[in-house]
Amino acid sequence: MKRTIVSSSFLLLVVLFMTSVAFSQTSSEYKAKIEKINKEMAKYMIEGNTEKGLSLYTADAISLPSYEPIRDGLPAIRKASEEMVKTGWKCKSYETKTLKVMPNGNMITEIGTYTISMTMPGMDKPMDDRGKYLTIWEKQKDGSLKVKIETWNSDINPMSMEKSTEQADMNQKK
């Protein structure tokens, strides 16, 4: 009897392990999914399609942008996006490079870098930026991924940009 219980328990553990392996995705599979979604996001940003971009977020998403207050929930993210569009901000190009993907249950953490080129009314030429980001994706019931939490910041120190602009102005006056 004891031997049967041990054998049954072992068999159950093997079945549970095999089931979890069969239904879980590897980091490389998540990375491929995330890179595809990031390309969609870039396309929507360049098109100025705020609604399509917002469809990639959970309803309770949190955005932690550089130099701005927290945006807690999709309505706050939508409002900030709409206000940015009203200013005349336009994305000319946006690319991401996923460096690391770390699955943990139904949450997947992505770490990467970005480059972006953008314009605003009155700008003589596009402004380019590069930096790093962290996104926590939430796996949905249908298997899709949506942004749960995001943050990013520039590798370019705004103080050095200001100094280089001042230096360029001084050079033009000479």
Residue 65 CB neighbours (<10 A): 14
What pLDDT, on a 0 to 100 scale, did the predictor assign at position 16? 42
CATH number of 25-153: 3.10.450.50
Q: Which residues contact 53 (CB under 8 A, 6 or more apart)?
A: 41, 44, 45, 81
Task: Determine the average pLDDT of the residues in 5-19.
Answer: 49
pLDDT at 42: 98
**Residue 153's pLDDT is what?**
95
In whole angstroms, give the CA distance from residue 169 to residue 60. Answer: 45
Q: What is the spatial distance between Cα 8 and Cα 47, in angstroms, rounded to a whole number?
A: 58
Please state, for a pLDDT cut of 90, what percent of the chain lies above it. 72
pLDDT of residue 121: 94
Task: Report which of 78, 94, 82, 89 is spatially closest to residue 129, judged by C-alpha positions.
Answer: 94
H or E element that contains 117: strand 107-119
Secondary structure class of 4 (helix, strand, coil): helix
Domain ranges of the chain: 25-153
The predicted-structure confidence for 102-118, as pLDDT tens digits, reads as follows: 999 999 999 999 999 99
Question: Stretch 117-144: mean pLDDT, rounded?
Answer: 96
pLDDT at residue number 146: 98
Question: By the 8 A CB rule, do 149 and 129 touch?
Answer: no
Which pLDDT does position 25 carry in this prediction?
A: 72
Q: What is the pLDDT of residues 59-106, one digit of tens each?
A: 999 999 998 999 999 999 999 999 999 999 999 999 999 999 999 999
Q: Which of 53, 59, 56, 80 is nearest to 69 (CA)?
A: 80
Yes or no: say if 116 and 96 are a contact pair by the CB < 8 Å rule: no
For residues 11 and 144, the model is more confident at: 144
